[in-house]
Amino acid sequence: MALRSLSKKKKFPGVDIDKAHKLERICKCGNTYTKFNSLINKCVKCLIVKGKQIVAKETKKAYREQKEKLKTIKDYREELKKALHLYVRMRDKKAGHTCICCDRPLAGAAVGGAFDAGHFRPVSTAPHLRFDERNIHAQTKYCNKWKGGRYFEYEKGLRKRIGDQAVDELKADETPRKYCIDELKALRDKYRVMTKALKWNKTEEAA
Ligand SMILES: [Zn+2]
Ligand SMILES: [Zn+2]
């Protein structure tokens, strides 16, 4: 079939048909194409598909870059919060911990937020500790809903978990924190890496 089409000289003016025939190749898709030069490595149909994929990829990349440029410090804080909270849920679930307040099991998957990463000293009264690992632990949604109401149960659990000295230090900590965008990004990436390092088992996750 391909040979017949190549024999129509008009289609390839100035092309040596014998040579073109020798250059005939089979594309991955099964179509035949002529390898006129090293850049052509697929049939026309596949070249078009590939071209569209490249354009789509470039468009996506440009969109991502544009989006990144428009991000504010608030967005980076939100990203850090997400990364840190996911890490905390993974950390505590992996360690086999129960809810820091009530000792109930942390049911369900860490991803998707079947249980929460809750603050001991609430963000409302201790905003400087909002990104402090010591201050954030896995909690059932029920207990997290209580917010400050579970403070005393949380403290009891926390003393068992991280020790009296660490809790006393945390309670006395009034040092203000100010994070610039680069610090927020670095922390976000640190927690993303740490979460990955926990090598969360996908099947366990789905259960
Ligand atoms: Zn093809
Ligand atoms: Zn609880």
pLDDT tens string 45-57: 999 999 999 999 9
Residue 91: Cβ-neighbour burial (10 angstroms; 0-12, 13-18, 19+): buried
Ion ligand 1 residues within 5 Å by Cβ: 27, 29, 31, 42-43, 46
**How confident is the prediction for the chain on average, in pLDDT?**
87
Mean pLDDT, rounded, for 67-91: 95
* Greater pLDDT, 19 or 97: 97
Judgement on whether residues 177 and 121 belong to the same structural domain of the protein: yes
In a domain, residue 46? The reply is yes
pLDDT of residue 61: 95
Q: Residue 162 pLDDT > 90, yes or no? A: yes
For residue 89, the CA-to-ligand 1 centroid distance in Å is 47
3-state secondary structure of 34: strand
For residue 49, the CA-to-ligand 1 centroid distance in Å is 9
What are the C-alpha distances in Å from 201 to residues 84, 90, 93, 109, 111? 19, 10, 11, 11, 11
Judgement on whether residues 150 and 181 belong to the same structural domain of the protein: yes
pLDDT of residue 172: 97
Judgement on whether residues 202 and 186 belong to the same structural domain of the protein: yes
Judgement on whether residues 56 and 143 belong to the same structural domain of the protein: no
Count of structural domains, the chain: 2
- Residue 12 and residue 20 in contact, taking contact as beta carbons nearer than 8 Å: yes
Q: Residue 206 pLDDT > 60, yes or no? A: no
pLDDT tens readout for residues 170-198: 999 999 999 999 999 999 999 999 999 98
For residue 136, report the phi and psi dihedrals to the nearest 5 degrees.
-125, 125
- Residue 34 and residue 24 in contact, taking contact as beta carbons nearer than 8 Å: yes
pLDDT of residue 14: 67
For residue 155, the CA-to-ligand 2 centroid distance in Å is 12
For residue 8, the CA-to-ligand 2 centroid distance in Å is 79
Residue 102 CA: which ligand is closest? Answer: 2
Mean pLDDT, rounded, for 149-153: 82
* % of the chain exceeding 90 in pLDDT: 66
Mean pLDDT, rounded, for 130-138: 96
Residue 154 CA: which ligand is closest? Answer: 2
Residue 47 CA: which ligand is closest? Answer: 1
Q: Which of 29, 52, 69 is the last residue of a domain?
A: 69
Judgement on whether residues 143 and 48 belong to the same structural domain of the protein: no
* Assigned token pair, 205: 């996750």
Mean pLDDT, rounded, for 139-149: 77
Judgement on whether residues 150 and 167 belong to the same structural domain of the protein: yes
For residue 48, the CA-to-ligand 1 centroid distance in Å is 9
For residue 115, the CA-to-ligand 2 centroid distance in Å is 10
Ion ligand 2 residues within 5 Å by Cβ: 99, 101-102, 140, 143
In a domain, residue 79? The reply is yes
Judgement on whether residues 153 and 108 belong to the same structural domain of the protein: yes
- Residue 135 and residue 128 in contact, taking contact as beta carbons nearer than 8 Å: no
Task: Label residues 81-90 b or e (16+ Cβ within 10 Å = b).
Answer: bebbbbbbbb
User: DSSP assignment of 62-97, as one string?
Assistant: HHHHHHHHH--HHHHHHHHHHHHHHHHHHHHHHTT-
CB atoms within 10 A of CB 138: 24
Residue 32 CA: which ligand is closest? Answer: 1
Q: Domain range for residue 39?
A: 16-69
Mean pLDDT, rounded, for 97-111: 82
Q: Which of 45, 69, 93 is the last residue of a domain?
A: 69
CB atoms within 10 A of CB 170: 18
Judgement on whether residues 44 and 117 belong to the same structural domain of the protein: no
